[in-house]
Amino acid sequence: MTASVPRSRCFIHVTLRDGRPLAGARIAVEQASGPVPELMYQTDADGHAQIGLPTGEVRLRIFTASGESRSVDINVGAEPDKTYDVTIDPP
C-alpha cells in the first residue's frame, strides 16, 4: 500500500496584465511534487478555478481561448483554501 500525497485545495485566479479576469481559460498541471489527475480545469467568468494540488513547486500551463498558452510556476503551501493570483500577458 502506498501513502497518499497530501493535497491542498487551491484557488487559481487568472488575470491579464491590465487586470481583466481571463474567463474560459483552461489550466493543466505540467509538473508537481506529487501525482495529480490529468485533467483540464477551466476558469469561470471571474477568472477563478479550483484545483487540488500537492504542496511544493507546481508548474501550470494556462491556455487562452485563442489556443495560445503560457507556463507559470507557483509554490503551494500547506495552508488550505489559498488563492494564487496568476497574471499573464494578453494573447
pLDDT score at 1: 44
Q: Is pLDDT above 50 for 47?
A: yes
- Provide the b/e sequence for 52-79 (b: ≥16 CB within 10 Å): ebbbeebebebbbeeeebbebebebeee
Q: Which domains does the chain show, CATH number per domain?
A: 8-74 (2.60.40.1120)
For the chain, percent of residues with pLDDT exceeding 90: 68
Query: Full-prediction pTM beyond 0.75?
Result: yes
3-class SS of residue 10: strand
3-class SS of residue 82: strand
The answer to whether 74 and 60 are in contact (CB under 8 A) is yes
**Distances from the Cα of 34 to the Cα of 5, 19, 20, 63, angstroms:** 6, 32, 32, 22
